Amino acid sequence: MRIFDIVLKDLSQIFRDKLSLVFLIGMPIAFTLFMGFAYKSGTEPKETDPRLVLGWVNQDPEGSIPLQLYDTLSNSDSLRLVELKLEDVDDSVRSGDVAAVLVIPPDFSNSAWNKAAQLTLVTDPGSSTGQSVFQLLRPVVTRLMSSVEIGQLSAEMVGKPSDSAEELAGFMAASQAWSAADSAALVKVEMAVAEEVPAWYGDNPYNQASPGIIVMFVIFGLTTSGQILVTERKSHTLQRMMTTSMHAWQIIAGHLLAMFSVVLVQELLLILFGQLILGVDYARQPIAVLLVAVALGLWIASMGLLIGVLVKDDSQVVVFSLMAMFIFSALGGVWFTLEATSGGFSTLSRLMPSAWAMTGFQNILIRGQGLASIWKSVAILLAYALGFFLLAVWRFRKSEV
């Protein structure tokens, strides 16, 4: 029963400080929202147009033939037209803003009817994109000039040679016929796109952010665990406890249960927040999630008490706790997935208890696995918890003798 008296005393002492609630709940929620947004922003695919960009400079704006060419190219699956000014042509090609520029000379339509038309394509002839644009334009221009010839032949057949209206009507009819057979005349550029790979965090960025912040801030809770023993040492409460019939392990166990209770409540509240507000599906495997949370809480409480036994004042508690938080968070896959690492870093990370806590949560939330997937993580966390607890008891006996 004395163990539970220590538990109640510690809990009363912790929750008396209202500021501790901000660190236990408020800050983790804020960090979770921020990290989830960062993951989502960093991996959202950007919409891109796979078509080659072709600059368009039309110095014959009233001509019917350039208008028809513009309409044809505007409907291309391979080229995307961008209208430019003549003075901007060289700079646009040189900077790579466009793959090439098609320049329509003045009075192009009249020249086309007289079979003296010439288009200018400005591009880097040594570039693959420039060559691609040339190959794509060649059948389009060939078809356009064929339509001009068909228009002229059509006018001659009805006995109206050199009649511009008849020639234009024949030209438009031929162009429409060509458009109907577009798939045979135009070369399509298709991008070979690999099968879309799901984001590493699954269907919800908070699948990583939520458990990551849980692990990070329960590690930060080492400060609370460590300060309990420091405070009791300063007030000589520990010395008085040692004069009673309580064993050293019972004193440490009492503080351990108190710290574990605080950590577990913090975890459960953040899990509830993730489930209800962020859409993280902890409820799909509630027993597995609870087991990982319990094992994580026991490890943190044990390590916190070991820190409290080793240090002498509050400032040392804060320093050791912050060092532990940054080391275990950085190496434990709290901020990013360990699957993206390799070599020595990956090997070192697998020695971190925080990495096994994250693996347990990720097996459930990201990989969609069940209860069987978390036993190794739970066992390793409990082994660390037992090791830190035994070290804390041993060091406590030695320091208080």
Q: Give yes or no: residues 218 and 360 share one domain.
A: yes
Q: Residue 12 falls within a domain, yes or no?
A: yes
Joined tokens for residue 78: 């391979």
Please answer whether residues 58 and 66 qualify as being in contact, where contact means their C-beta atoms are separated by less than 8 angstroms. Answer: yes
In 141-184, the DSSP E strands lie at: none
- The residue from 185, 217, 238 where one domain ends is 185
**Which residues is 82 bridged to in the sheet?**
55
Task: Please give the pLDDT value at position 193.
Answer: 39
Q: Give yes or no: residues 128 and 70 share one domain.
A: yes
Q: Give yes or no: residues 171 and 298 share one domain.
A: no
Q: Give yes or no: residues 152 and 211 share one domain.
A: no
Select the more confidently predicted residue: 83 or 168: 83
Task: Please give the pLDDT value at position 189.
Answer: 38
Q: Give yes or no: residues 241 and 322 share one domain.
A: yes
Query: Of the ranges 85-89, 159-163, 328-332, 374-378, which is most confident?
Result: 374-378
- The residue from 137, 161, 185 where one domain ends is 185
Range 28-43 average pLDDT: 59
**Alpha carbon separation from 362 to 145, 273, 333, 358, 372 (Å, rounded):** 63, 17, 10, 6, 13
Task: Please give the pLDDT value at position 244.
Answer: 64
Q: How many domains does the chain have?
A: 2
Q: Give yes or no: residues 103 and 228 share one domain.
A: no
Banded model confidence at residue 332, pLDDT cuts 50, 70, 90: confident
Q: Residue 364 falls within a domain, yes or no?
A: yes
Q: Residue 195 falls within a domain, yes or no?
A: no
Task: Please give the pLDDT value at position 294.
Answer: 94
Residue keyed to tokens 């500021």: 19
Banded model confidence at residue 43, pLDDT cuts 50, 70, 90: very low
**Which residues lie below 8 Å from residue 27, measured CB to CB, with a gap of 6+?**
217
Q: Residue 194 falls within a domain, yes or no?
A: no
Strands 120-123 and 100-104: antiparallel
Q: Residue 350 falls within a domain, yes or no?
A: yes
- The residue from 128, 162, 185 where one domain ends is 185
Q: Give yes or no: residues 162 and 249 share one domain.
A: no
Q: Residue 191 falls within a domain, yes or no?
A: no
Please answer whether residues 12 and 228 qualify as being in contact, where contact means their C-beta atoms are separated by less than 8 angstroms. Answer: no
Give tens-digit pLDDT for 223-270.
Answer: 766 666 677 666 666 556 666 666 666 777 777 787 888 888 888 888
Q: Residue 160, Cβ neighbours under 10 Å: how many? A: 14
Task: Please give the pLDDT value at position 147.
Answer: 75
Task: Please give the pLDDT value at position 240.
Answer: 63
Task: Please give the pLDDT value at position 236.
Answer: 64
**Which residues is 83 bridged to in the sheet?**
56
Banded model confidence at residue 185, pLDDT cuts 50, 70, 90: very low
Residue keyed to tokens 């509050």: 314
The pTM for the full model equals 0.56
pLDDT over 70 at 108, yes or no: yes
Q: Residue 259 falls within a domain, yes or no?
A: yes
* 374: containing domain: 2-44+200-400
CATH number of the domain residue 137 falls in? 3.40.190.10
